[in-house]
Amino acid sequence: MNGYLDADPLLRRAEVLGGKPGQRAADVDQRLASIFRQTGHRFAATPVTIIEVHTNFCKWVIQNEPTHRQFDGEWFDRAFEQLMADLKSGRIEVLQLPPKVFETAMMHVTAASLELGRNLRGWDAVHVVSASSWSRQLGERVTLLTGDRQVREFVETFPEFGQWIDIVDPASL
């Protein structure tokens, strides 16, 4: 499997480190850990994924809701260390962003809004465009691992991306 990771599965893995994961987070963590141990799989993300994950880590630390109390400074250190270890070990490869990825993403999000009345997010477009670009580079299909339904909506809105990528919820692996 060539698996492109958006922020969602990496956030679910980090949620487990907080000690009180939801069932979905536990499932995703278990499945990813199992796949990471197997040979023959390749995983990648872009700097956008990494900054998105980091931003959410920071947001979770400052949230004062009871559901986020386990996400403190110590958790942040463990979660960020896990992410960096995955990158340093090569378990997750950091891809260069494709040329004009932001322009391409904004063009598609604008078209979805103005022409189709769809509310799509730019970061999701960046992930889809990046995963599709990686697929073309490899000459093979790429599995975009995400639990984010809006990524799936993006590919449904612009089905041409479906020729390069499959959207799979990592909880279903």
Q: What is the DSSP string of 113-149?
A: HHHH-----HHHHHHHHHHHHHHHHHTS-EEEE---H
pTM: 0.92
* Segments of the chain scoring below 70 in pLDDT: none
Return the pLDDT at 21. 82
Check residue 144 and give its pLDDT. 97
Four-residue CA torsion sign, 97, 98, 101, 105: negative
Give the dihedral of Cα atoms 7, 150, 100, 98; nearest 10 deg: 40
- Distance separating alpha carbons of residues 29 and 35, to the nearest angstrom: 10
- pLDDT at residue number 83: 95
Over residues 13-53, the pLDDT tens digits come to 998 988 878 888 999 999 988 888 888 899 999 999 999 99
pLDDT at 65: 82
For position 173, what pLDDT does the model report? 82
Residue 85 lies in domain: 1-173
The CATH number of residue 158's host domain is 3.40.50.1010
Helices (H), 18-100: 23-37, 47-62, 73-88
Residue with token string 């993006």: 154
What is the pLDDT, as a whole number, of residue 22?
84
Sheet holding 165-168, edge to edge: 93-94, 42-45, 2-5, 142-145, 165-168
For residue 82, give both structure tokens: 């896990």
Q: State the pLDDT at residue 95.
A: 98
The count of structural domains within the chain is 1
Q: How far apart are the C-alpha atoms of 124 and 158, rounded to whole Å?
A: 12
Nearest C-alpha neighbor of 128 from the set 49, 53, 56: 49
